[in-house]
Structure formats: C-alpha cells, structure tokens
Chains A and B, each alone.
Chain A
Amino acid sequence: MIHSLFLINHTGDIFLEKHWKSVIGRSVCDYFFEAREKAVEPENVPPVLQTPHHYLISIYRGKLFFLSVIQTEVPPLFVIEFLHRVADTIQDYFGECSEGVIKDNVVTVYELLEEMLDNGFPLATESNVLKEMIRPPTILRSVVNTLTGASNVGDTLPTGQLSNVPWRRVGVKYTNNEAYFDVIEEIDAILDKSGTTVFAEIQGVIEACVRLTGMPDLTLSFMNPRLLDDVSFHPCVRFKRWESERVLSFIPPDGNFTLMNYHVSSQNLVAIPVYVKQSISFFETGPCGRLDITIGPKQTMGKTVEGLMVTIHMPKAVLSANLTATQGTYTYDLATKVLVWDIGKLNPQKLPNLKGSLTTQAGTPKPEDNPSLNIDLKIQQLAISGLKVSRLDMYGEKYKPFKGVKYLTKAGKFQVRT
C-alpha cells in the first residue's frame, strides 16, 4: 500500500524520508515539486498526482507536505486519512506538527512511523497503543534520560494492541478522577450582500478529557438528541445503543479525545449571532476605494460575543489601507493582501466600526469584484443549536468522578459576501 513517505517543508526541502518497502529515490518528488510550482498556493496542489511509475498522494498540514508514494491501486482516502493520522500523532506527541519539532525529535518520529505501518499497511494507529510503545517526551523525562541514559522506548511490552478495547490502557490510575466534556459548535454560514442567509448549518463536536481510574463505562445522554442529524463517533461508542436509545455509551480512551462529531439538521433554523453592515467600493477614477464595516449583535441568546475578528482577502490591486477602527485594531499585510480586524468583545451599546480609504495601484482597472468577509467569533457557555447534555453516568467503577460539561459556539466557515 503506502510505499514511502517524504516530509517536505514549504521551501521544498525533503527533511525526512521513510520507506516501508524497498527504497524509492527522492527524485520521485520532482513531479510533486513541478505540480507545487504550478499551483502557486500550497493549498492548490492536487492531493493525488500520477507519475509514470508511481502515484503521489499528499496532504498539506502545518506548512508541511506529507507526501506518500504509492505503486498500486489503493483507496486514496485511505492514504489521506492515514497521513492525517500521522500528523495528528505528531501533534499529540510534541504539541505541534511543524518542521522544527519533527527535526528535534527525528528519531522518535521515525520510530513512530515504523510502528504505524507494516509493509505499508496500518498497524498501530491508536495513540494509546503507540504511547505504550514509544513514550512521548516530557521535559522531566528528557532530563532524566540525559542523566541516566534511559530511553523513551517503553520497556514493558505493549498490550494495548491485543486488547479488545485498544484505545484504552489497562491499569490507569488517577488520584483525581475527572471527566470533562466540551460541546463545541461551529456555525458555517454564507450571508449575501444584503445580509440574508444563503446557507447556514451547525457542525458540532464533543471533545472529551477523561481521566478516570480503571475501566469506567460511561453513558452520556442528551436532553434533546433529536436535534442531531448526522453523527460520527469515536470507535469506543457503542453504535447500537445510540441507534436504539440515543445515548452515548462507551468505555473512554484515557486523556483527550473526540467523542463524536455531529451535524444539526438543516431543518432547524440556524441563529446567526451577528449582522454585518458593509460597503466596500472602488472608484472608477483615481486610485482609491472606500471601506465601511459595522458589526452588530443579532441572535446571541443573551450572551456576549467574544473574539470577534474579520478577515478580508483584498484584491491584488489594493496597495494599502488607511482606516480607523472604533474598537480593536486592524492590520493589512501588503504581501498577502489580507486585512485583519481584530475586534475582541462585541459591545452592543457601541457597535464596532471600521472605516476609511483604500489605495489601489495606479493604472490598473478598478477591481471588479468585492472581497468577501470571513468572520470569526466565539460565544462562551452556549451551544447555538440548543443541544444540552442531560446526564453522565458511570458504571463499572466505585469512585465518584468529577464531571463537567462546557459549551462553546464558534464561527466555522462564516462568510459574508459583498
């Protein structure tokens, strides 16, 4: 299946390679570099490329390309999903997935890759199993290792692979037993010029952080499970229970994990928390344009909107912006032509406004199209769909855990067309 993996940074250096079958020369990447050049933006590189003898499947994560070489038919999603899993694992181990981190931990990364695939077929991708085999580095451990010469390879043999709940280690112990669940909802929306909703939906995710001793069996139930339209689960969730009773029953993995993703049915009207009044115009004569944006609260369910931010990808012709913001700060990146207005908390009494003029390159025709605004926001303690967790029960263990649920609403792909 997966023959080789090359990690390539944004400048086109191959800084790590791993082969699971026989070695494939680096020159195979030339085809990729060619495509990379053609694509201009790294995001636009086609994920699947065909070369005379190989197929290249790549993902772009954290300014890095994970490029895998394939020789025979394999479902492309299989490879893509796996590559993302590699990136996730690296992130999980070292806190971020970047060139620097990988270079610093090259041996560990290499060992991880060795364990994750066998002859190109995924072997151990559960982070819990991997962590048993190769311990993630901590500051304390690296100090100890330096002093004692000990290693970060687990000296006990991993048993997780053999277990029927491969996602959970055996013999977990905590002094404080706690289980936290974050219900995070993202609003994906497209608003048109006049402010009407072209398209809006809510995507939710329940992130869990469970530190419980032993083998607890949890059951999470909702007040209004009917809201959930389409769901996908962590493998630990018993699907049949969900089908019949609409409760989440599972033996949780240890630590942080994503319990479920859900989609709120499009039948429910989606509350749009803010409205945007905007006018961006360029004049036919003279190298200038005008911009005026005001944001106000719409349906916020009585909560305050925080972390408000507006990002605008300006047309290439815009040279500079001379604006004044009544609240927050703005920056305009000349190279990427991105205007970012960081507003912060939305004050309903005094609506934030950004106003001023834009200078366009002289001699070029006025930009014909107006850039769309991408909006970012956060509302604490609110799940915009109205989803509520009703209770969490634990079976199988005697102690009383501390339980907590937090709600958060964010803007996902929230776009205002102009």
Chain B
Amino acid sequence: MTTMQKLLQLPVNAVNIVKTVQSQVQGQEEDKSPVLTPDSGQHSWYSALQPDELRHLRSGGSGGGGGGGSGDHEERAPQEEGGGGGSFQTQPLRHDDLKEMLDSNKDSLKLEAMKRIVAMIARGKNASDLFPAVVKNVACKNIEVKKLVYVYLVRYAEEQQDLALLSISTFQRGLKDPNQLIRASALRVLSSIRVTIIVPIMMLAIKEAASDMSPYVRKTAAHAIPKLYSLDPEQKDQLIEVIEKLLADKTTLVAGSVVMAFEEVCPERIDLIHKNYRKLCNLLIDVEEWGQVVIINMLTRYARTQFLNPNMNESLLEEGSGGDRTFYGSDEDEDEDEEEKEKKAETPAMAKRKPYVMDPDHRLLLRNTKPLLQSRNAAVVMAVAQLYFHLAPKAEVGVIAKALVRLLRSHSEVQYVVLQNVATMTIKRRGMFEPYLKSFYIRSTDPTQIKVLKLEVLTNLANETNISTILREFQTYIKSMDKDFVAATIQAIGRCATNIGEVRDTCLNGLVQLLSNRDELVVAESVVVIKKLLQMQPEKHSDIIKHMAKLTDNIQVPMARASILWLIGEYCEHVPKIAPDVLRKMAKSFTNEEDIVKLQIINLAAKLYLTNSKQTKLLTQYVLNLAKYDQNYDIRDRARFIRQLIVPTEKSGALSKYAKKLFLALKPAPVLESPFKDRDHFQLGSLSHLLNAKAGGYQELPDWPEAAPDPSVRNVEVKDSVFTLLERVTTLTSVPEWTKCSSREKRKEKKVEKPFYSDSEGESGPTESADSESDSASGSESGSGSEESASRSESEESEDGSESEEEEEEEEEEKEKKKKKKELKKPVQESESEQSSEEEERKHQRKTKQRKSDSESESDEDEESESESSQSESEESESEAEVKKKKKAAESKPPSKPVKKESKKEKKEMSLLDLDDFEPAPSPQVTPVNTFLSNSLVTDLEGLSLSDTVLSPATIAPSSALKNYELLHRITGEGLSVEYCFSRQPFSPDANMVAVQMQFTNNATADTKNLHIEDVKLQSGMRVKEFSEIELLPAGETATAVMGIDFCDSTQAANFQLCTHTRKFFVSIQPPVGELMRPVFLTENEFKKEQEKLLHNLGQLMGMNEITEKLTLDMKCRNEHTIVQRVTTAANLSRVPCGSDKECRFAGRTVSSSSLVLVTVATKEEGAAQLTVNCEKMVIGTMLVKDILLALTQ
C-alpha cells in the first residue's frame, strides 16, 4: 500500500520531466554523496529526503523506458535484493547507497545511513526493504547506530518476522549483560518486537528480569508485560504470576509500571492488590508522576470495592464534625483545618459508638494522596481530585476545589478536561466550587469550547444568593461576538430561570428584550428558551406571547418559528384574537416553510379548530389540504391523522370525542437539565467520562458495597489486623538468624534508594522500613501508616537514627525498647478484650494510636530486627512474648489466611538467600543424608581419576554439604518447623522426580499428628509423589520424610498444603536450577563429542544451545579445587576428568527429560575465566549460567 501511495504521489508527467534533468540530478547527487562529506545532523533531513525522492522518480522513469544514467543501479539491484529484485517496478525505492553505507565498516557511514533511514521512518516513508541491511548492524559497537537500529527494528520487525529473528540472539546476550542498563534496554527492544514466534523467549526473559537484582530491569520487565499480553493473550495466566511477583516489589521505580501492567492485563484481579495496598499507599508520593496517576486510579476502584461509603450516614457525620466548615476553609486557618481534619478523621475511627467507622486503610489512602494535589502534573492533580470525589467523606471533598481551579490557568486543553470534570462535580457538590465562582468568568479570548464549559459551570453554581452576579455576568456575554457562545449563554439563562424561581421573571424579561436583538440567531435561541420558560406559568405572560406572535413576520430560523407557533397554539385561549391571524399568515406561507414549521402549523390549526372552530374552520381545512400533498410523508401523515381526529364525520371513531383532551391537555413543563447530570457514574477524569460513553477498556467504577461491605473481604482485613499483632509478637520472639543478616545486607544496598523525601521528615520512614524489612511486609506497612497519623513520637526519631548514625542509635534504642516493652503488653491485652475503653485511651494517647491501626509495634519490631544490638534485651522480650503466644495458642483456632501469607514471605526470603550467601551453611541438625565423604575428599578423588573408571554416581552425588531451606517456620507453624533439602539422590519410586528430603521438628508442647500433604497445586506437567503420612510427631521430636517432585525441568514452585491434625499450612518448594539435574559420568572425549553435537546438530539457531560468559574469579576461588567445589554446590553435576588443569568440565542430565547439561570452566591468567554451558534447554542453560556465575564470583 505504501508503495502505491508513493506512486500516487508522483504525477505522471513528472517522470518525463525528471528524465530530462536526470543527468543534472545525477551530478548533484554525486556532490552530496555521503562518502565524500559526512553530513551533520542538521543536514541529514534534507539529504535523506532529496536523493530518496529523486531516486524514486528515476527508477519510475527507468521502468518506463530506461534512463541512461540509472542503468548502473538497475543492474545491481536484483543481486542485492535477491528474490525481491525481480519486481523492482513495484519496489521503486531501493536505497542502494544506503545499503552500501550500512555494509561499510565505518561507523560514521553507518550512522549517517541510519539517520537518513530514521528520518524516512519519521516522515512515514516506507523503508522496509532495507531490513536485511539494517538488521546486520544490530550488534554494532557504536551506541548511536545501535540505538537507531533498534528504532528501525521495532518499527519493521512485525512486517519482516523471519529476518527479525536474526537479531534475537543479540538481545538474548544483552539480557545477560552485567550492566543493568544494557539488560534493560535489551529486554525493552526484545519485548517491543512484535513477532509471535518469540513469545516463549519473551516470556522467559520477562520472568527472569522480574527477579533481577536491579529495580530498573524489573521496571522494564513490568513494561514488557502488556506488550507480551497484546501479542499473545494466551500468556495471561503466566503473566499474572509475574505481575503478582512484581506487585510485591518494594521499590518506587517498579510500582507505577507494574500497576500499569496490572491495569492492562488483569484489572479484574483486584484480589492481587490486597496484600500490596498499604505499601502502594505509602510509596505513592515517591513514585514518578505518571505512575502516580495510574496507581491512584486503580486504588480508587479498589477502595470502592473494599470500604464502606463514608457518606452513608451523612447526617450523623455532619453533626459530629460541625458541618461543612472545611468546605470554605480559608487560607488563614488552613493549618488548623488540617489538624482539625486529622482529628476528625480520627474521631470516627476511635469512637466506636458512631455508626460509621472509616476503615484505617481508607483513611490511609486519603491521607497519602492529598499532598499530590500540589503536583505540577495536571494529570496527577486530576487523579487525586477524582479519588477524593469518589471516596472521601463529603466534608473533605472540598480540598480538591482549589487545586482544580489552579489547573484552569494551564493550557487550554487542560482547561477543557478539567472544566468537564468540574461541571460534573458542581452538579453533585455545588458548595465546593462556590467560593471560586469568579474563576469561571469568561474572557473574550477563551476558545469557544472553554467558554461553553465555563458557562455550564457557572449555571450549575447559580443559586439564590449569587444569581444576580451571575446574571450580570451573563449580560456581558450576550454581547459577545462569538454567536455560538451567545446562544449557549441564552440557554444558560433559561436554565438559571427554571432552577431558581425568584429570578424567573427577571430572566424572562431579559430574554424578551433579546427578542429585539438584531442578530437572528440570538433571537431564535431566545424564542426557544422563552417557550420553555413560558410553559411553566403561561397565564401570567400573555403579553409575551403576543409579542412573540409579532415576531413571526421577522424570524426566519425554523426552530424559533416552530417554537412560536407551538406557543400560540398551546396558549391560544390567552391570545384569542391574534392566534387565528397568525394561522392565516402561516397558511399563506405554508408551502415555503421548513418541515418542523409545517408540522407546527398543522398543530396550531388543529388546536385552533378545536377551540375556535368558527373562525378557523376554513383555514384549517386549507392547511390540511396543503399538507395532504406535501412532499414529506411525515407531514402528510400528520395531516391525515389530524383530519380524522378533529373533523367530525359519520365514520369518525371514538377517539374524535377525545380530540380536545388529546390536543389541549396540560403538558408538563420541560426540565432543563445539565448535560453533565449523572455523568459521575463514570470515573471522573477518565476518557469515558469526557465522552460520556464507555471507552474500550474502561473499568466500571463499582458501587460501594451494600450496607455492610462484602463480609469475606472485610474478614480478611480484620484478620489481617488481628494477625499482624500476633505476627509482631511472634516475630519478636525469635528473629531467624538469616532474616537478620539479609535484611541488614539489604539495608546497606537500599541506602542508595532511600526515598528522597524521607531525609527531612520521619514521616516517610515507612517507605524506608518497607524497603528494608522484608519479613513482615504487611505488618511494617500498616505500621508506617499509623505512624503518619501519630504525632511524631520517638519511634520516628529512632527510625531516622537507625538510618544514619549507628552509634547514637544503639543508645537510643535501648531506651526505646524499654518503653516499647511496656507498650507491648497493652495492644495484646486490648486485642484480646476487643473492647475499647475510651477514657483509658485518652489517658494513654500513644497506645490508642497503636491500637488504632495495630501497627506501631511493627516498626518497633523492625528496629529490633534491624539493630539486634543487645541480645539480652531481645531474649528478655522473647520470653515475655512467648507467654503471650501461649495465651494466643490457648485461644480458639487462629485464622488460617495470614499463615499462608507469612509462609509465602518466607519463601521469598529463601530465594534471596539463594542469591546472597552461597556459603554452604552447615546445618545444625543432623541430617540423615550420607555426608560420609567430605566435599574436599570427593573432589580430590575426582581429580585423581584420570582413567575411564566410572565412579558410581551415587557416591559422588552428595558431593557437598546440602543446603537446607525453610519450608515452614516454627512461628508460622505454631511450633512445627519444617526444613527441606534436595538430597541429590535418585528418587527410587520415579526416576524423573527430584528427591526432596523434609525434616519436621516439633517445637511445640503438644504432639502433632497426621502430618501429610494436601491440595497440591502445580503447573501443568508437574507431578508430586507425596511422602507417607507421619502419624505422630511427639513434642520436641524430629522426623524426616522424602518426597518426590517432578519439576518438568522448570523452576516453577510446587505449592501444596501441609496438614496436621489441626492446621493447614500453605507452603511451596521452588528448586534452584542446579537441583533439577542429576550427575552423569562422561569421559573427556564423550564430553567433547556431546558438546559438538549440541552445538551443530540440534541447534536450529546457532548459538542457542551454548551460553558463554566471561567472569573474573573470586580471589579465594582461583584453584581448581574450589572451582569444582563451588560448581558442584551450585548444581548437581559430576566432574568430567580432564587432562588440562586450565579447564574444569562437568556433566549432568536434567531429571525430567534427561537433556544433557555440559558445563565448562576455563581459567586464564589473573582469575579471568570463561564459563560455557551447553544445554538444549535454553531456560535451564540461562539460569544455570547465572547461578554458577554467582557461585564463582562471590
């Protein structure tokens, strides 16, 4: 099509003209030849176009008759273009010189060529035939060339799918680059290439990037999700998993992008937000502005499903909060207002006797979005405004008015959108904008659409008190030169008059005066409006009707004429003398009237005939006769119908008796309504609202939940809050060692990412704590929420302290802890009693704060785990808390949901552990695995074996101390703790399964019975062989069991429930990639042979089966021995004996599909080394490389 366009652009005779000047052109072009003068950027625009267009002309010409000068080009073309060359007539653009430039080995030439090509793309010209030449340069070293090639690729890959595949391997390599920015850009381009074949590769890349160390790469992964989804919606389920994972991310960088992905892929999965809600609220202020918009819009929807309508008991609330003072909160007392509002916010939360209690989470959202009203970004301000409009209690909505009025200073497009929304708001809550009435005054320089919208707002704002000013203002508008605007003003006056009875007469008089206006449009519009007004009280205004009757001589606008006629007909008894005369005039001009006027003439005739048949009988018949032969069938129909109805004949039916009633019945006065009425069922600020029609992809704003919000959802939240309390106590008692270190380590890393706003104010501490403290996500988040509401007490100070000065912190925290310990008792007691005694609360304000959103304690615990400064302290508290824990246990069955949550969290921790510390930690418990061969011994033995004698894999298997992972922490498990490890032994019942050895320890005081597995949730293809039920696990005892899992060679987690006789725990096992294989023994020759085979025979795309990575070995691991040890620790492989000491080789097969995995580590001088992994399973290969790299470099 594009070529066609180009051909069409070309005038036919232009070809001939060009032919004559061709030689000249040729000469010019030579001058411009890029080889001679590398053009600057500025020049490139022209040079890109000129030769282009000229060549196009030329080839068109040569196709026709063959120009002498272009022969050279013609000959070369077919060779270069291959198959496409034959049809060069349909592809007149060949860009030979560009191709030449791209093929050259000078970067400057390539760059010049790419610039021209991009300029072509920008102009919308087709450059697709250059694809092969461009794609070659995808691996170019020059960064700008590379970038431009990416631009090209993304634009044309869809059209040239096969060729685009050539570039994929480059990006795959980029995905593994140590530089996060390169990884991110590789992912970005890879995911932007819309080629369906690479969907699996994209999926893989996204999954991998979603767990990347760099938040920037994770952000890019979030961006890639909607791209993949639009390419292949089938991937939805898998993508939702990734989204879920990324939603749990705690960095501001990722938050906006992942919510965006969420909105595009699975906006209906509101349940994914539950866990992340508080975190999102707290991060919001530090998220970049575009992300803020998306998050706020999503949270609005979320809140509508989860919380109660705050205006449910409007009257009661207003009583309590002293009316709408905040509406008009002037600037002087703004500060007070703030405080007051805060207090107000707390009042309902505290006072339980009030009928409506705002959910603390609801409050959190309102509080955290409010500062964003000060954003410079209009979209953010609008988003907050709509959130307040839809979610805030009536008394608080007022705060948004000021910000919205501010936006009216912005660009006219912004004004347009804002005014639309203000118009809708003013209908619902007029009071909010009343103080800003004058800001909506219209200037003669405003664009018409803005004027009309302002008018709409002014009309909505009009009430008894301000109507006189508004009307005076309207009077000036009527004089405007913009007639559309004048017409709108007249309508606005009409609406004011209908809405406010007091001014109806004034308005009517004003409008009547307008009837003598010279502009016909104005008069016509007035007539229409007057008609509507008169209908309300016609008796009083017969003089106006008379006046209007006179106008029929002058007014030509059909709508106005029709209105007048209708009026006269309707109220003919008020003007008995004039009406027949009007009909007479109309009958005269009937044939020349417009259709709507004709219809009204018939109506008038009918009505007059019924009331005053003596005078008008003949006239009526005349009119009806005229109408009978009218061209318009509507008119003919009407005439026939009316004739039957009103003219009494013998045959006339029963209806004619009622003709009078039919025609002269009292008609209800029209209601002049704003077009913005009821528009607020669309989410404000949305496109759908603006268009007043549902746009594609619009998510309905759900109604508030009925009387009581959906009980199950509420339950989760209640449980949550109760449970966080429990969690706090329990986590306090024993913070696992690994949690401490990792959070510490993480803290150090995160320092860099410390949110900007946090340094000055303790209030944004929450973000910080959310960042660093990963083991109690929901806990610490809610904690932070409450902190903000609380007056800045010590907890914040210390939080600041803990961020920076470590020495000071120690002391302070000692003090802190003492205080906290005291507090600690309170909340638990309170939560037990469930009763709030208000007097006590007042006495101990701090405690109330704590209770209110069940959380400050979380932050305490944060500190505790962070600092771990004094062991004795924490031990003390441990014992204390343990007592409480027992109390808890004595209570009836604790809720199960939160447990699930925690176990999940722990799982996360684990994966962190995988990456961070690879030192095989000797497990304190005695594992029944046969570790009878020490690592070193095994490796030594391996090193010694130069012969082909096969060491049985079984003996080599446990070649290193096995790492234990936690499946169930003893706190979550209420005394039952479960650890598991991959025993690396063949699972005898099924050779395709990975053996997982589990160790159960009962730390509780009571026995645990019937330990077994239930409700296994697996990815398709995966299988699980459960262990046989453990009947009884006495208190203090340990038991082991082995289960088999077929992971299908993927690192997908196996999720299942671990059940005891009383409880069920959600747990999951996710294998490190290294555990998905079993060692095989190969000789050096076999190894090489297999490697060859993998490289050449199986790989459809070269290099797919081999992944090579350069690395620098850690100082400690430069000898062969350690390398072997580390590799075998990371992956269950066996060493391949080898003659050279520069190379270590390992071999294994994946457990499920027995694909061969070959690993080579070749060492060079100074710790440099090269790692090669060959495996036909690309996923496994990639992940293995990553793991081994980590093992070797740390």
Which of A26, A152, A162, A368: most chain B CB closer than 10 A?
A: A162
Contact status B693-A17, CB under 8 Å: no
Distance in angstroms between the alpha carbons of A230 and B220 in the assembled complex:
36
Minimum distance in angstroms from B895 CB to a CB of chain A = 36
Contact status B687-A76, CB under 8 Å: yes
Does residue B763 face the partner (Cβ distance < 8 Å to A)?
yes
Contact status A258-B290, CB under 8 Å: no
Q: In the complex, what residues of A have CB within 8 A of residue B760's CB?
A: 238, 240-241, 249
Does residue B124 face the partner (Cβ distance < 8 Å to A)?
yes
Does residue A48 face the partner (Cβ distance < 8 Å to B)?
yes
Contact status A17-B122, CB under 8 Å: yes
Minimum distance in angstroms from B46 CB to a CB of chain A = 9
Contact status B376-A234, CB under 8 Å: yes
Contact status A145-B41, CB under 8 Å: yes
Residue of B nearest to A83 (CB): B413
Minimum distance in angstroms from B510 CB to a CB of chain A = 16
Segment of B16-24, B401-409, B571-579 in the binding face: B401-409
Residue of A nearest to B251 (CB): A164
Contact status B38-A149, CB under 8 Å: yes
Distance in angstroms between the alpha carbons of A145 and B112 in the assembled complex:
11
With A78-B290, A81-B414, A104-B42 known as contacts, the answer to whether A415 contacts B445 (CB < 8 A) is: yes
Q: In the complex, what residues of A have CB within 8 A of residue B290's CB?
A: 78, 82, 121-122, 125
Q: In the complex, what residues of B have CB within 8 A of residue A240's CB?
A: 371, 757, 760-761, 763-764
Contact status A265-B122, CB under 8 Å: no
Does residue B1170 face the partner (Cβ distance < 8 Å to A)?
no
The number of residues on chain A lying at the interface, defined by a beta carbon within 8 Å of a beta carbon of chain B, is 116
Q: Which range contains the number of B residues in contact with the other chain?
A: 35 or more
Q: In the complex, what residues of A have CB within 8 A of residue B687's CB?
A: 48, 55, 70, 73-76
Contact status B411-A84, CB under 8 Å: yes
Does residue A34 face the partner (Cβ distance < 8 Å to B)?
no
Minimum distance in angstroms from A30 CB to a CB of chain B = 14
Contact status B382-A233, CB under 8 Å: no
Contact status A108-B111, CB under 8 Å: no
Segment of A111-119, A171-179, A355-363 in the binding face: A111-119
Within 8 A of A (CB), among B32-59: 38-42, 44-45
Contact status A71-B696, CB under 8 Å: yes
Contact status B378-A77, CB under 8 Å: yes
Distance in angstroms between the alpha carbons of A70 and B686 in the assembled complex:
13
Does residue A353 face the partner (Cβ distance < 8 Å to B)?
no
Within 8 A of A (CB), among B1066-1097: none
Distance in angstroms between the alpha carbons of A41 and B155 in the assembled complex:
35
Does residue A272 face the partner (Cβ distance < 8 Å to B)?
no
Distance in angstroms between the alpha carbons of A232 and B385 in the assembled complex:
14
Minimum distance in angstroms from A256 CB to a CB of chain B = 15
With A146-B38, A153-B147, A164-B755 known as contacts, the answer to whether A50 contacts B192 (CB < 8 A) is: no
Does residue A413 face the partner (Cβ distance < 8 Å to B)?
yes
Distance in angstroms between the alpha carbons of A151 and B142 in the assembled complex:
9
Segment of B474-482, B602-610, B716-724, B907-915 in the binding face: B474-482
Contact status A110-B379, CB under 8 Å: no
Distance in angstroms between the alpha carbons of A61 and B411 in the assembled complex:
9
Does residue B697 face the partner (Cβ distance < 8 Å to A)?
yes
Residue of A nearest to B182 (CB): A157
Q: In the complex, what residues of A have CB within 8 A of residue B293's CB?
A: 75, 78
Q: In the complex, what residues of B have CB within 8 A of residue A105's CB?
A: 41-42, 45
Contact status B124-A261, CB under 8 Å: no
Distance in angstroms between the alpha carbons of A13 and B764 in the assembled complex:
50
With A43-B447, A369-B479, A417-B476 known as contacts, the answer to whether A107 contacts B379 (CB < 8 A) is: no
Residue of B nearest to A75 (CB): B685
Residue of A nearest to B372 (CB): A239
Distance in angstroms between the alpha carbons of A19 and B290 in the assembled complex:
19
Does residue A44 face the partner (Cβ distance < 8 Å to B)?
yes
Minimum distance in angstroms from B453 CB to a CB of chain A = 11
Q: In the complex, what residues of A have CB within 8 A of residue B518's CB?
A: 365, 368
Within 8 A of B (CB), among A163-194: 164-166, 188, 190, 192
Distance in angstroms between the alpha carbons of A54 and B764 in the assembled complex:
41
Contact status A142-B41, CB under 8 Å: yes
Contact status A369-B226, CB under 8 Å: no
Within 8 A of A (CB), among B956-982: none
Does residue A293 face the partner (Cβ distance < 8 Å to B)?
no
Within 8 A of B (CB), among A25-61: 26, 41, 43-44, 46-48, 50, 55, 58-61
Distance in angstroms between the alpha carbons of A261 and B106 in the assembled complex:
50
Within 8 A of A (CB), among B80-128: 106-108, 111, 115, 118-119, 121-124
Within 8 A of A (CB), among B498-520: 517-519
Does residue A15 face the partner (Cβ distance < 8 Å to B)?
yes
Contact status A164-B752, CB under 8 Å: yes
Query: What are the interface flags for A183-207 relative to B under an 8 Å C-beta threshold, 1 for contact and 0 otherwise?
Result: 0000010101000001101010000
Contact status B406-A263, CB under 8 Å: yes
Contact status B151-A162, CB under 8 Å: no
Does residue A23 face the partner (Cβ distance < 8 Å to B)?
yes
Q: In the complex, what residues of A have CB within 8 A of residue B630's CB?
A: none
Does residue A380 face the partner (Cβ distance < 8 Å to B)?
no
Distance in angstroms between the alpha carbons of A159 and B184 in the assembled complex:
12
Contact status A72-B695, CB under 8 Å: yes
Q: In the complex, what residues of B have CB within 8 A of residue A82's CB?
A: 290, 379
Distance in angstroms between the alpha carbons of A146 and B332 in the assembled complex:
60
Does residue A403 face the partner (Cβ distance < 8 Å to B)?
no
Distance in angstroms between the alpha carbons of A123 and B188 in the assembled complex:
11
Distance in angstroms between the alpha carbons of A44 and B215 in the assembled complex:
44
Contact status B449-A46, CB under 8 Å: yes
Contact status A239-B697, CB under 8 Å: no
Which of B44, B215, B290: most chain A CB closer than 10 A?
A: B290
With A73-B686, A121-B260, A251-B756 known as contacts, the answer to whether A226 contacts B332 (CB < 8 A) is: yes
Q: In the complex, what residues of B have CB within 8 A of residue A234's CB?
A: 376
Within 8 A of B (CB), among A59-96: 59-61, 70-78, 80-84
Contact status A77-B418, CB under 8 Å: yes
Q: In the complex, what residues of B have CB within 8 A of residue A75's CB?
A: 293, 297, 379, 382-383, 685-687
Minimum distance in angstroms from B614 CB to a CB of chain A = 44
Does residue B596 face the partner (Cβ distance < 8 Å to A)?
no
Contact status A26-B124, CB under 8 Å: yes
Does residue B216 face the partner (Cβ distance < 8 Å to A)?
yes
Q: In the complex, what residues of A have CB within 8 A of residue B406's CB?
A: 230, 232, 261, 263
Does residue A229 face the partner (Cβ distance < 8 Å to B)?
yes
Contact status B696-A80, CB under 8 Å: no
Distance in angstroms between the alpha carbons of A359 and B179 in the assembled complex:
73
Minimum distance in angstroms from B1127 CB to a CB of chain A = 32
Q: In the complex, what residues of A have CB within 8 A of residue B122's CB?
A: 16-18, 106-107, 109-110
Contact status A142-B757, CB under 8 Å: no
Within 8 A of A (CB), among B230-258: 230, 253, 257
Distance in angstroms between the alpha carbons of A111 and B293 in the assembled complex:
25
Minimum distance in angstroms from A281 CB to a CB of chain B = 14
Distance in angstroms between the alpha carbons of A152 and B382 in the assembled complex:
37
Does residue B747 face the partner (Cβ distance < 8 Å to A)?
no
Distance in angstroms between the alpha carbons of A261 and B408 in the assembled complex:
13
Does residue A255 face the partner (Cβ distance < 8 Å to B)?
no
Q: B402 touches which one: A77, A161, A229 (CB < 8 A)?
A: A229
Does residue B699 face the partner (Cβ distance < 8 Å to A)?
yes
Minimum distance in angstroms from A289 CB to a CB of chain B = 15
Q: In the complex, what residues of A have CB within 8 A of residue B755's CB?
A: 164
Distance in angstroms between the alpha carbons of A230 and B381 in the assembled complex:
13
Contact status B40-A16, CB under 8 Å: no
Within 8 A of B (CB), among A314-332: 315-316
**20 contacting pairs across A/B (C-beta < 8 A):** A1-B260, A26-B124, A47-B412, A76-B687, A78-B379, A106-B122, A110-B122, A119-B226, A121-B257, A142-B41, A149-B108, A164-B752, A166-B288, A232-B375, A232-B376, A232-B403, A249-B760, A263-B402, A371-B481, A417-B476
The 3 closest A-B pairs by CB, nearest first: A149-B108, A72-B697, A153-B144
12 extra interchain contacts, Cβ-Cβ under 8 A, other than A118-B188, A235-B376?
A: A44-B449, A48-B691, A71-B696, A76-B417, A110-B122, A142-B42, A151-B111, A152-B41, A153-B147, A162-B214, A162-B215, A164-B755
